[in-house]
Amino acid sequence: MLPAVLALLAAAPTRDAGPPPGLSCLTTFYAGEVHHRPDAGWGFVIDGGTFIPWRAQARPVRDIGVSPGDGGEEDEEESKEVIDLESIYAVPYVAGPIVRLDASDAGAIDDPGRVRIEQLFLTTYGQSRGEVFDRLAKVRFFGLRYPFHELAAEPLRRVVARLEPQVQENPKLKPFLTEIGGTFIWRKIARSKNLSTHAFGIAIDLNVDRAHYWRWQRRGEPLKWNNKVPQAIVDAFEAEGFIWGGRWLHYDTMHFEYRPELLSPLCRGGAGMVLDAGVDGGR
């Protein structure tokens, strides 16, 4: 009996070991502080004293309706409601070469980055449409200026700086980057209580006519991944902390959202994380 107890104690995480990297790096990107509670372990304290645990003792996950072929061309993919921060990293986001996904099993969960903790976004980017709106900057994106949150505007400008010389060299890239779907719009995700990342001004949809979206398939057909977005565009966004909806099983290839915690080397070591490419975590 005693050896078994000692083994359990040795395996249990302690405060002396320090917070997990995937937690401690969040202070670089989100408003809040890393904190340890004797009754709940490591976590993140945001405005108002709300404590979000790194690992919940019980981990209920409520599916907010992932059902292929169910309407809404403008709808962003639904997310799952979780109660701990470790879940953000549960499905690793792997940057690099575009990989064709096997979407034959529509019930599979393989949408890296779709787990979002809305409380982090509300505290960091704004609690209401008015608060977010007051913090929007204007970013020139291939001929037009678009609203984007001030905390993500500079990364988007760097994306443009990466792409401009490539567009000069390869004009076939430009149609993907003009007449785009949009950036900021205060709305909820379809059939969900959660706000879209577009509501926080941290997401951009490229040219809709050159994109693929899983809900555009015929109802009842097997989910079949598809994409036209070139590698060069994906690389430029991922290098500056944006994840791409084309890496989701429930794909949305026009969609990029600023999620630097999933790409930064500072977060390396989060639960199950695999990082093939990243951004400068200090920016």
Q: Which amino acid is at 271?
A: A
Which run of H or E residues covers position 225?
Answer: none
Listing DSSP states for 96-154 in one string gives SS------S-TT----TT-B--HHHHHHHH-SSHHHHHHTEEEEEETTEEEEEEHHHHH
DSSP state of 64: -
Sign of CA dihedral 190, 74, 91, 44: negative
Q: Tokens 């007051």 — which residue?
A: 134
- The continuous run of DSSP H or E covering 53 comes out as strand 51-53
Position 27 scores a pLDDT of 94
- The 8-class DSSP code of residue 189 comes to P
pLDDT at residue 34, as a whole number: 95
Tokens at 78, concatenated: 């639904």
Please tell me the distance from the alpha carbon of residue 64 to that of residue 80, in angstroms, as a whole number: 6
Whether 251 and 212 have beta carbons less than 8 Å apart is answered as yes
Q: Which residue has 């609690």 as its token pair?
A: 127
Paired with 243 in beta bridges are 257
Over its length of 283 residues, how does the chain's per-residue pLDDT go in tens digits?
444 444 444 444 445 578 999 999 999 999 999 999 999 899 999 988 899 999 987 554 444 333 333 333 344 444 445 478 999 998 889 999 999 888 665 455 578 998 899 999 999 999 999 999 999 999 999 999 999 999 999 999 999 999 999 999 999 999 999 999 999 999 998 778 889 999 999 999 999 999 999 888 788 777 788 999 999 999 999 999 999 999 998 899 999 999 999 999 888 765 444 444 333 333 3
Structure tokens at 155: 């990364």
pTM of the model: 0.82
Give the type of residue at 28: T
